[in-house]
Chains A and B, each alone.
Chain A
Amino acid sequence: MSASTLVLTVLAGLSAASVLFLVASGLSLVFGALRVINMAHGSLYMVAAFLTTAIVKFFSQPTIGFVLALVLAPAAVALIGALIEVLVLRRLYGREHLLQLLATYALVLVFAGGVRIVFGSQNLIVRPPEFLTGGVSLGTLTFPTYKFFLMFAALVVAAGLYVLLYRTTLGRNIRAAVADPELLNASGVNVARLFTTVFMIGAGLAALGGVLISPDQAVGLGMDTDVLVAAFAISVIGGLGSLMGSFVGALIVGLATSFGIMFPQTSRWSLAFIFVLMAVVLMIRPWGLFGRPETS
């Protein structure tokens, strides 16, 4: 492997990790605070990607359309998230995990059907905004500008999440919910509203991932479960409920995938490799690299 291929592989891995981080951090945040694994998390990502295609098409001007989609799609999906939290999840807190898994799984089916009715089953393409097309040259190499933008966006969101969690009252309450939901309940915080807010943020993060991925990859049915499975792997490796875990987990999965694809001997197995990695981590550290063991 030459030095230039190595650089390209690392960059490709980092840009893949960027979108995965956005999606996984939302999943992880929701789990941390609400103790619910949202199986429909990938569906929210897919809905946002399809919304992006519609918004960009509507404005027929890729730059304006995309910039608007970056705001509108996450907002719309966050509202959908609020509805899910209020109408479905709220009735299932404190019940068996089994019911929460099944309920959010039912939503996967509902969203898949809904998207298919509204957008059809064809793959759709979104053109990136003009100022992000083309490539950046690194000596003898060029690398797509848009992929750099993905990394930049992920870093901005990561920093934003850090500030939100560690520098604001809302963040303090969320962290309290992660650490001890019962105590939070007793401390006068409006837990119902906090949970709705957290779920909206989680949904918004999934949606942001969906918007950002759409110029980079065809938008189609099936992207919901693909990203969900990857986000699960990341969360499990990094530890559910940990921001740092999502970050490191996304890096591991992103880089492992891009390095796996580089070699002809391993490219076919790169997907399987991630799950083997996930299984190994779960066996050695069932709560993930950065998670905390769940107390019964």
Chain B
Amino acid sequence: MPGLARLRTPEGLRWVAAAVLVAFAVALPPLAGLVEIVSPDSISANFTVGVLGTSALVLALWAISYNLMLGYTGMVSFAHAAYYGIGAYTVALLYQDMHWTVLQGLVLSPLVAGLAGLITGFISLRAVRLYFSLLTLAISQVCYVIAFEWYSFTGGDNGIHGISLPDFLSNPTVLYYFIAGVVAVCLVIMFGLVRSPFGAALLAIRENRLRAASIGLNVKRYELAVFTISSAFAGVAGALFAIYDNQAFPDLMKWTESAHPIVVTLLGGSGTFLGPALGAAVYTWLANSVGKSLPAQFDIVLGAIVLGIVLAAPGGLGSALDGLRRLAARRSGWREPEKGAGDREALGRIDVSKILAIRPPKPPAERSSGATLLRVEGLNKRFGGLKAVDGVSLKVLEGRRHAVIGPNGAGKSTLFNLLTGQIRPDSGKVVFGGIDITGRRPHQLSRFGIGRAFQITNIFPKLTVLQNLQYSMLAHRGDTVRPFGIADRRYRDEATQLLEVVGLGPVSSLHAGLLSHGDQRALELAISLALGTRLLLLDEPTAGMSPYETKRAMELVNGVVAQQGLTLLFCEHDMDIVFGIADVVTVMHQGSVLAEGSPEAIRANPEVQRIYLGDVDLDTPQTGAGASA
């Protein structure tokens, strides 16, 4: 049966595991009742369902909301307990001060926690990664101190107790199913979110922040969005805690409490959606058995588990799936990349004419108009006392292939970083297609049609080759704001077509990080094409390539650029390539422009020859003797 065969794939196994987990959650109350009848000595059904069952469900919700950040976006927050606590206090305070029912409080809790998340997230996301983590820790402590010290409002260290439930929730089994229902609704919403184009943007950010920005994603804004959403669901989890535990107290908000979602997420695997739910079940069971009798040993066990997972399988279940994928690809004829095995790589299979068949060249009227596409005026950037870029002005005409050369330290990379918005200039102006783009950030530039390939190959290593392209298209076309729909089904055909022509068709389902260097370069170029780039910036496109790869890569770039009417601005050390491709060459020296002109003029320029100190013999590029790395 084909249906059964599908279940044996990694995706199928995930669905089976999820079904088992859900079935277990649904069947827990009758199962516990059965256990009580069979062996009356064991723990009571009411305890199993009303305490263990409900707390496991709430923990699962809390951890899965955490995993939106940890697993899907790659953010480590130590403030998740704060939003959980805020959710609990929302229910408790509304109950105590406003005489609201817990259900009304439950409805309001995601809004309150989400708002708190939005505000605190805005503050903490001013910092990046590590500093972000430290800021969340500080925020959590501030929330804790407020809850602890503001007696008149929160009841201080006593907390708020004795929250009573509406009559229909007084039965533990009913309460269990009620909480299960709320958790299920939240999980369905989150599941939809991670599979949507919005979720695709999160994955892209997790894999490669820099690249994510260069395909047009406003990284910070997405991080803030996921932080807020995650906080809102943590708030629901906290509200549910206040409902089943009938209380709220300051210790809920301590930063060390964030250990629970972290440990649970890692325990179950951050690479899968329902992994943390499995983790929650295991954790609750462990905490109730080991944790009760041997609390100190329990800490050590938890620590050992986290340490073991981090050291042995940092991807959790995700990395196991990776192995399966590799196996499947090998069966279909793919081999592990070998160093220097150029002939088997995609670059060797690329046929430029096929690219042109799919993306026909623009009519001559549209290209090579000779108009100025990029104009740089008096650009300055200093680092401390060093003038890295010192009053650089240059014009790149549409349709031209413009090279920037210069000895090491001439400011080429800084210039490129200024043009692509990685760093801001101190003064000067960059105008692209008539629009002033000075100091704009990378994600905005990609919208204008400025594409960049990086000195270090820059792709999304743990996304499949196909996803690399699909997600780039989603981001570029502004679809990633959508929190619904399934990202992996969008632009599939278009992306597949593009991959076929750059020779990556056979490896489209493989993680991009497994590809050889040359293949990754080809993928980068495909991403640039997918982004509708008008100006392609290449920073040492052939660095680290074998001579064979270099030759193929430059043929590819040259062919694509010429036929698509793209404008190319590149810097390169290999003079064969520079003089073989460029129409115009700008020479930089010590941060300023030394000379500009046709390749012939530059080669004959004595000034230029002098700065290279005979390092490169510019007169005889055809012999290859002049190539320097």
Q: Which A residues fall within an 8 A CB radius of B? A: 37, 88, 91-92, 95-99, 101-103, 105-110, 112-114, 116-117, 121, 225, 229, 232-233, 236, 268-269, 271-272, 275-276, 278-279, 282-283, 286-287, 296
Contacts and interface: CB of A to CB of B under 8 A. Distances in A.
B357 interface: no
Contacts of B299: 109-110, 112-113, 116
Given A272-B142, A279-B135, A109 B310 contact: no
B135 A229 contact: no
B16 interface: no
Given A117-B297, A296-B210, A91 B138 contact: no
A96 to B, nearest CB: 7
Contact of B310 (A92, A97, A225, A232): A92
Interface in B258-276: 259, 262, 266
A276 B296 contact: no
26 contacts: A37-B130, A37-B134, A91-B311, A97-B133, A98-B70, A99-B314, A106-B305, A109-B299, A109-B306, A110-B299, A110-B300, A112-B299, A114-B296, A114-B300, A117-B300, A229-B255, A236-B131, A269-B145, A269-B149, A271-B141, A271-B145, A275-B138, A279-B124, A279-B138, A282-B134, A286-B131
A271 B494 CA distance: 56
B20 interface: no
Given A37-B134, A275-B139, A276-B142, A113 B296 contact: yes
A284 to B, nearest CB: 9
Interface of B: 70, 74, 76, 123-124, 126-131, 133-135, 137-139, 141-142, 145-146, 149, 210, 255-256, 259, 262, 266, 295-307, 310-311, 314, 422
A102 B76 contact: yes
B141 A275 contact: yes
A92, A105, A106, A283: residue with the most chain B Cβ atoms closer than 10 Å? A106
Nearest to B304: A110
Nearest to B75: A98
A278 B303 contact: no
B85 to A, nearest CB: 15
Contacts of B306: 102-103, 105-106, 109
B461 to A, nearest CB: 12
A117 B296 contact: yes
Contacts of B141: 229, 271-272, 275
Nearest to A98: B76
B142 A275 contact: yes
**Residue among A105, A112, A269 with max Cβ neighbours from chain B (10 Å):** A105
Most chain B CB within a 10 A radius of its CB, from A88, A113, A296: A113
A275 B314 CA distance: 31
Contact of A95 (B127, B133, B314): B314
A116 B295 contact: yes
A279 B123 contact: yes
Given A232-B137, A296-B210, 7 more contacts: A103-B307, A109-B302, A229-B138, A272-B149, A276-B142, A283-B127, A286-B131
A97 B76 CA distance: 9
A91 B131 CA distance: 22
A282 B133 CA distance: 12
B557 to A, nearest CB: 25
Contacts of A106: 302-307, 310
Contact of B138 (A99, A278, A287): A278
B386 to A, nearest CB: 13
A236 B307 CA distance: 26
A118 to B, nearest CB: 9
A72 B473 CA distance: 61
Contacts of A108: 303
B405 to A, nearest CB: 24
B126 A283 contact: yes
Nearest to A35: B130
Nearest to A37: B130
A-B pairs, 6 with minimum CB distance: A113-B299, A109-B303, A110-B303, A106-B306, A113-B300, A116-B296
A105 to B, nearest CB: 7
A117 B130 CA distance: 32
B138 A105 contact: no
Contacts of A102: 76, 262, 266, 306, 310
